[in-house]
Structure 1
Amino acid sequence: MSLVEKLLDAYPAETGMPPKMLGEAVDKLYECAGVCLTCADAAAAEQDPEKIVMSIKCVRLDNDCADLCTVAARILARQTGYDAPTTMAIIEATRTVLRASADAAEEFKGTPYFELSAKECRETEQLLGRLAEQMGSSDAGEGYPTSPPSATTPAGASMGGGAETSGTSEASQEVSEEQLREMNMDELRDMARDKGLSGVHDMRKEELIDAISGKRGS
């Protein structure tokens, strides 16, 4: 377990994502930033005029990639006051420049520093892709905490503060837990509202499923 993972694991509220996955992403982003900066520096030391001219775009992308990777790592490491749309936008922007940087570097076959940079960018982009998928493509990480639990709010309680009811409707009674897990967040929220539940916007998927299936107490 890396130091970043340990710090995220020690976070006093729920992170919404496994600390291991978040820690791996933060560490990889910082590593990629270092690789891209080193690659750009190596390209600047080239003696071949033709290669220098050809690598201008690649060097620019290396620097852009290093900047965005650093920003993404800092954003992901912050869990207090988490804002899902901002985080997802940063992740997607970073993935875009990672792909562009890898594409440009791969044009310089046989140049070790460009080959290493391309490999690192590909790996980092793929890791961010898995992270984004885990967060939920349509809901952009809905369910992350917006702040640590207060002294009067149990850690597992809904952040919405609304009272919840345990009433059931005929429609939801016919839906199995397995079917609920296949639904997206919007569908689950609609079903929860139909059951008269409140505070559904701040519930995580598991909380919604438990509430709809009647596992959560009133």
Structure 2
Amino acid sequence: MGTVYSAASMSLDGFIAGDDNDPGAVFDWYQAGDIEIATATPDVTFHVTPHSAEYLRDLVARLGALVVGRRLFDVTDGWTGRHPYDVPVVVLTHQPPTDWHYPGAKNFHFVTDGIEAAVRVARTIAGDLDVAVAAGEIGTQALEAGLLDEVRVDLAPVVLGAGRPYFTGGRTRVLGDPTSLIQTARVTHLTYPVPRA
């Protein structure tokens, strides 16, 4: 069975996007190098450093499903039916959309029974591959419920000052020392294990 982790690009002051949901310079690392990484979305191509390219290729090769909340789904319009990493997406929501239809959008699963159910569905879909849980409220719920094996941070040298935090609250959690640290242009990729209670 794969790893369940939360992952996001984050500013130095803990935000994944501004109040308007725009990540701005937090995402600069996706265009900070010469290595081209194509995605399943024709108009989304990354140009990253060799270190970030290796990091992304490994992440995508091991990714079996993604768990997101309704906010991210709505902000991206469900990636118009196909996530850039071309993986199944489990959307945790109180109310599945009734007016969202894209041809070929078969890899979206709407779960209303809480974070445990969403991760369970994602694990079933992913099989032996990893499950990534979006940051924000969903990541916080997964951490609080003891569902995460790791927290991954793509730390950008940016101070946003305000916005959407990586974690939205909850009790204090002390993570393990980083098991991976990759420093490159415009980002430091960090992986922290989540100790089991």
Question: Rg larger in 1 or in 2?
Answer: 1
> Which has a greater percent of strand?
2
Compute the TM-score of the two structures, normalised by the length of structure 2. 0.24
| Greater share of helix | 1
Higher relative contact order (CA 8 A, sep 6+): 2
